[in-house]
Amino acid sequence: MAPKPQPSLTTSKPSKPPTRSSSSTAAPTSPTSCMQDAPIQAKQPHMTQASQIHTGEPDQSATQDNIPPISAPDQDVEDDPASTGPAPVTPAAPLDSSHETSPLLMKLLDVRTLATIKGFYLPLGESFVPSITWVREGRGNIAVSREAADVAIKQRGAYAADPSNAPAPLPLEPTQFSLIANIAQEHCFLRPDGYFKADAKFVRPFSETILTCALVAPPAEFAQLTADFKKALESFNKLVRGLGSPRSGSMYAQFNAPHIRARHRVFEPTTDEKCEEASNLPAEFTVSGWPTSSDAARDARDELVATHVARPLPAFDVNGDLVPPSRYLADLQGATVVVKFSLSHFPIRGKNMTVHTMCVNIEHMRVLIPPTRRPTNKRPLASLTDPLSNVAQKRKVE
């Protein structure tokens, strides 16, 4: 299923930034467009054909806003609720640069300013973390603003008291948080088939394929952004209330760099509405055309055609185009991105204790700085003569 378009981070326009330099290194796209949630639609011309966690039943006895810091095995779960529009907060200070402002730096400055104006920019967590609470929704708990939670409680109460006159309440949607980060090279597990292996010791069903990646600090040359990321980690740890650990699923166990482990669930059961939305996308974005890298993954995918729909990763490249599944690794690994995500928490009852899973669900991702491309010029594997000698002789003749 194509993910729902999320509210844009451009609801209000910031004051004009300093005059841009006329010299440019690359032609950056409109900074404002970088923060918009473009609808799930893809352009075909640039397309090319080209993790493992345990699950369990959540503890139904868990109460909302009551999440004890109990360690748990690294695992993911199924729910991927949508998000709500956040409340505005005080904008952060502009980026500080001692050298001449470049178009790229201006672009990052604009995106950062827009994120702070929209609200829930994670580095500014001290201004909104106290207003976030955890509410029971479905099988688990979601992080929402107290204001949204209070409204939902009143609507549900009114409907329960007089269902014939009060409108049915809508599901409570989680708050979206944002930050600017890099997708790590070392821990980027975004291959569309989830590295599926039918003969693995612990096999997750292909229908439960989950893509994950580590969000790390932005490039060091952007000092304010790296400082922002450090503050974002502090805010994140306060939000998850001591559950920010490899064992809860919000971090990788064997990755020492400060990071947040983000995830995206690829498939979900079919409904008529979702099938209609998925039918408007190119074949690569559907279950039947979803890219796989092995016969086992292809066979497992084909079994889902009649029962599931695909949920493409809501990631957009530097031009604002939806990234095709076959390009996830090529276009996202090592990229600098602005990310919006929601938080969900699931208590899972074990034999001797209740353990906890914390999910960082990717709601929107936009590439700000694309990853460095490898050279495409093919070089001969061997040469019968020394190429350096040939160059020297050529210069001598000239």
Q: Given a cut of 90, is residue 325 above it in pLDDT?
A: yes
In this predicted structure, the answer to whether residue 53 has a pLDDT above a threshold of 90 is no
**Exposure class string for 260-272: b at 16+ Cβ within 10 A, else e:** bbbbbbbbbebee
The single-letter code of the amino acid at 86 is P
Q: Please check the confidence at residue 25 and state whether its pLDDT lies above 80.
A: no
Residue 222 pLDDT more than 70? Answer: yes
pLDDT digits 0-9 by tens, 366-381:
999 999 876 656 666 6
pLDDT tens column, 266-277: 999 987 555 555
Q: What is the mean pLDDT of residues 266-293?
A: 80
What are the pLDDT digits (tens) for 57-91?
344 343 444 444 333 334 444 344 333 444 444 44
The rounded mean pLDDT for the chain is 77
What pLDDT is recorded for position 351?
74
Is pLDDT at 36 greater than 60 in this prediction?
no
The model's pTM is 0.71
Q: How confident is the model over 110-131, as pLDDT tens digits?
A: 999 999 998 899 999 999 999 9
Band (pLDDT 50/70/90 cuts) for residue 344 is: very high
Tokens of 228: 């922002």
Instruction: Report the DSSP beta bridge partners of residue 338.
Output: 180, 366
pLDDT at 323 over 80: yes
Q: How would residue 137 be classed by pLDDT, with cut points 50, 70 and 90?
A: confident
